[in-house]
Amino acid sequence: MKYLLAMLLSAGVLAPAHAQVKLPTLRAAWVNPLPKDSLTGKISFQGVVQVPGATQATLYARAKKWMETAPGPTKLTIESQDATAGKITGKTSELVMQNLFGANVQVPLWRTIVIQVKPGRFRYQITDFAFDSGKGLAPVTPLENYLTPNELTFDHNGYPKPVLQSAIEAVQRSGRQQATAIRQALTGKAADDNW
């Protein structure tokens, strides 16, 4: 009997039963909480807001004024404006934590803000989130590059590492705040009530 058991073990017949005891590492089903544009796949805070009775010129003037006076850590820069077409585009950033070469540092996370107006309504979009190079150059790395699970930005359980989680929270907070500020400025209404 001992001889038979030794032969079975050496032949590997019992090995599969032993291998089943070791459980594989389970990956979490992490869901990106940031809103995405269904057409571009980019992170995007957007909406269409009705403003009955408002002219295109009035809404455009409000949009331009908001762009020129928008609060934030960096001054919003108007990149293009066309009153006839009713479209104004700007760029701004805020500092968020990022892991660069093993060190957590604050780097600018840029975003583009587009406001389009028509009589009685406007559309806004806050998108093109991208990390700065850290050298004062143009934004170089889209935020979406960090949101696909990988060893650099996600832990072994499939969840964002703390530095990425803080960037996600910053984008959620600032994106919502900017969207609310745009709606307030262009509608002339008080803050949205989130009760």
The answer on pLDDT for 5 being more than 70 is: no
Higher local confidence (pLDDT), 193 or 167: 167
Residue 52 counted as domain residue: yes
* Averaged pLDDT score across all residues of the chain: 80
User: Within 10 A of 22 (CB to CB), how many other CB atoms are there?
Assistant: 6
What 70-77 contacts at long range (C-beta under 8 Å, 24+ apart), as own/partner pairs, is: 70/178, 70/181, 71/181, 72/174, 72/178, 74/108, 76/113
Phi/psi of residue 152, each to 5°?
A: -75, -40
Residue 2 counted as domain residue: no
Mind listing the pLDDT tens digit for each residue in 138-166?
A: 657 898 988 887 787 888 888 888 888 88
Residue 98 burial by Cβ neighbours in a 10 Å radius (0-12, 13-18, 19+) = buried
Residue 113 counted as domain residue: yes
The answer on pLDDT for 15 being more than 50 is: no
The answer on pLDDT for 13 being more than 80 is: no
Average pLDDT over residues 170-191: 87
User: Within 10 A of 16 (CB to CB), how many other CB atoms are there?
Assistant: 8
**What pLDDT score was predicted for residue 75?**
83
**What pLDDT score was predicted for residue 50?**
95
Contact 64, 81 (CB under 8 A): yes
Determine the Cα–Cα distance for residues 28 and 24; give it in Å rounded to an integer: 13
Residue 171 burial by Cβ neighbours in a 10 Å radius (0-12, 13-18, 19+) = buried
- Residue 112 sits in a domain whose CATH number is 3.30.530.80
Cα-only R_g, the chain: 25
Residue 115 counted as domain residue: yes
Average pLDDT over residues 38-58: 94
Residue 62: closest CA among 184, 146, 144: 184
Mind listing the pLDDT tens digit for each residue in 55-104?
A: 999 999 999 999 999 877 778 899 999 999 999 999 998 887 766 666 77
Q: What percent of the chain has pLDDT over 90?
A: 41
Higher local confidence (pLDDT), 43 or 154: 43
Residue 141 counted as domain residue: yes
The answer on pLDDT for 181 being more than 70 is: yes
- Reported confidence tier of residue 108, pLDDT bands at 50, 70, 90: confident
How many structural domains compose the chain? 1
Residue 123 counted as domain residue: yes
Residue 66 counted as domain residue: yes
Residue 3 counted as domain residue: no
Determine the Cα–Cα distance for residues 41 and 25; give it in Å rounded to an integer: 29
Compute CA distances 121 → 56, 116, 124, 175, 183, whole Å: 8, 9, 10, 20, 11
Give me the domain span that covers residue 47: 36-187
Q: Residue 176 in 3-state DSSP?
A: helix
**What pLDDT score was predicted for residue 35?**
94
Determine the Cα–Cα distance for residues 153 and 161; give it in Å rounded to an integer: 6
